[in-house]
Amino acid sequence: NPTAIRKPGEKLALKDNTGRPESTVRLPDVEIPEGIEGCIGKTPLFKIKSLSDATGCEILAKAEFLNGAGNSPKDRVALNIIKMAEEEGLLTPNSGDMIYEGTVGSTGISLAAICRARGYLAHICMPDDQATEKADLLLKLGAEVERLRPAPIIDQNQFVNTARRRALEHTADPTKLGRGIFADQFENEANWQAHFNGTGPEIYAQTNGHLDAFVSGAGTGGTISGVSLFLKPKLPKLKVVLADPEGSGLFNRVKYGVMFDVKEREGTKRRSQVDTAVEGIGINRVTANFEAGRELVDDAVRVSDEQAIAMARWLVEKDGIFVGSSSAVNCVAATMLALKMGPGHRIVTILCDSGTRHLSKFWAQAGAIGGEVDISLDDVLKAGEKE
Ligand code: PMP
């Protein structure tokens, strides 16, 4: 019996005289994925043990950092944007066509990898205050990288506006091969549709339709909208909760129906989206992708940098899970919701990317985890709170 536990020192029964053991394990049927694109989607959903034990709820994480091209949920989005542009006849492989995008990093990384696989070039415009490893990785993937000073969306040199302009300039330039195509993840609805057709159905199937809440941050809003638009009609009682970092206007949009720049609000810290430690989520405008599912978002939770950092450290210490900042924000919000809903509920959230993308910024602030560290969940949720 190959599954029986052997006593120490006991030898495996040998079937022949080669001296090597013969396995009787039945091999599962496996499908060989077609290139890196075949490794996108079907990510595991797993229980975060420490948070589940501490809250009495089941807190389940969709491991989107295991998408196999650019290692984030943006793989699904980048692939769908490219496929839809191809269907519309906007892209021709190996013709010099170049995809332009404004991104804080993840979408650029996914686009750059998939562009390589499909015969396109990538030009990525990103703010220069993001973790440097993202720009380094983009260059290694052969993308052109333009790092720009953070600026409000009304500024023509803001990273999204620059990418849009560069695409037009490319197409108009007779010395350039191919066309310039602006991917436009914020407004292009191929974004939420990728989650409507992938992430949402996967969560539904992996939970057998048994879930009480879905918690997600929003950058473009594609994830929260696409997943909610799929799940809510099937599960009308499902609670959808936005996890929002400091400086983002979406919290107010969801809670109070108005969106205003927090910098102008009396009594709040003068702090803008760009100088938090959290990357990828939080925004001060309502994009087409957020708007698509906005009415389905039931509530919002505000998460501070300090709470996100404490949670990131907790996840390493208790579970060996090493994630980036937006995943940590999601886990803080999921935990708060679990405590509010009470034991026995099942909450699904997203782990967007790995901590390796955030070593020079978020994790530099979080510091190293020592063997002696022992924090309580209360410490995590109250992190940064003034006496
Ligand atoms: N986490 C990370 C690391 C991201 O880069 C992004 C997208 N900018 C998100 C979360 C948010 O996802 P979405 O754009 O679908 O709202």
Atom of ligand 1 nearest to the CA of 220: 14
Contact 111, 122 (CB under 8 A): yes
Closest residue to atom 4 of ligand 1, CA basis: 280
pLDDT at 379: 87
Residue 273 has pLDDT above 50, yes or no: no
What's the pTM? 0.91
Nearest-angstrom CA–CA distance, 298 and 255: 8
Instruction: State the average pLDDT for the chain.
Output: 91
340 is catalytic: no
Closest residue to atom 9 of ligand 1, CA basis: 280
pLDDT-based confidence at 270, cuts 50/70/90?
very low
pLDDT at 385: 80
Residue 159 has pLDDT above 90, yes or no: yes
User: Alpha-carbon Rg of the chain, whole angstroms?
Assistant: 22
Q: Which residues line ligand 1 (CB under 6 A)?
A: 72, 104, 106, 217-223, 280-281, 324, 326, 352-353
ipTM: 0.98
For the segment 310-355, what is each residue's pLDDT rounded down to a tens digit? 999 999 999 999 999 999 999 999 999 999 999 999 999 999 999 9
- Average pLDDT in the 152-171 region? 96
Bridge partners of 216? Answer: 242
